[in-house]
Amino acid sequence: MGKMKQPLLIKKGAEASLYLADWHGRKVIMKKRLPKKYRLPKLDEQIKTYRTNHEPQLMHEAKRAGVPTPTIFLVDIKGATIIMEFIKGKQVKQLLDEISKSERLYLCLKIGELIGRLHECGIIHGDLTPSNMIQNSEGKIFFVDFGLGEKRKELEARGVDLHLMKRALQSTHFRFAEECFNAVIESYSKVLDAETVKNVLDKIKEIERRGRYVAKRKGEEE
């Protein structure tokens, strides 16, 4: 894996641990998927290999779609480890609580555009939450953690992706979740063609109704 000086654990996520490390004189993030003791070893291996394999591919394709993602330096499938560029900046999750309303809307408009570009290119992020977006000092927004991502163009996949973003906003930024999500949708709508957007928005509504115990369920109209 090359020279590596004392990696520093910066985040112990549920799925992987992130280390800040020095790699050939470069500041990098080392993402290591640790074995999950609760899962059977065979299932654990399958999930880890699949995600370690797919994540860098999707990150690379996202770049091609015009969505900034950290540059991948090394992928070690056996060790379930990815070494990638360290993005210095702030999580959008933190930013949303700190900035003014107009800044917030501007930020959400930018995010909506990026999500639109991903979907346009058939990339589903799989875990669109404000904590998986980082803004650097130049104001560029990077999308990270494509571990649950997929290559798909179906309305269902796109709808679930946006639904997750909405849910993430509701659970941690409930005070301004609605205005944020509306801004995301506003700029998302400018990237994809009108018909697709309409269908995706209908799909989101359908997904919400399909959920347990929502005010209106699938096939019901008031």
Partner 1 sequence: MKRKRTFKSYCLGIESTADDFSVGISTFGGEILANVVSAYIPPEGGIHPREAARHHAEVASKVLKEAFKKAGIKPQNLSIIAFSQGPGLGPCLRTGATVARALASYLGIPLVGINHCVAHIEIGKLKTGAKDPVTLYVSGGNTIVSAFDSGRYRVFGETLDIALGNCLDVFAREAGLRQRVGEPFGAVVEKLAEKGKRLISLPYTVKGMDLSFSGLLTSATNLLKKGEYKLEDLCYSLQETVFSMVTEVTERALAHTEKKEVLLTGGVAANKRLQSMIKTIAEEHDAEFCVVPSEFAIDNGAMITWTGILAYTHGVATPIQKSFVKLRWRLEEVEVTWVR
Residue positions annotated with a catalytic role: 127
CB 81 within 8 A of CB 19: no
d(CA 154, CA 185): 18
Min separation Cβ 76 and partner 1, Å: 22
Phi, psi of 113 (to 5 degrees): -65, -45
Supply 163's token pair. 């639904």
CB 96 within 8 A of CB 112: no
Phi, psi of 34 (to 5 degrees): -90, 150
Nearest residue (CB) to partner 1, 213 versus 219: 213
Nearest residue (CB) to partner 1, 23 versus 181: 181
Amino acid at 45: E
Nearest residue (CB) to partner 1, 23 versus 204: 204
Identify which of 100, 184, 101, 134 has the alpha carbon closest to the alpha carbon of residue 11. 134
Q: Which residues bind partner 1 (CB under 8 A)?
A: 12-15, 36-40, 42-43, 46-47, 126-129, 131, 148, 160, 163-164, 167-168, 170-171, 174, 207, 210-215, 217
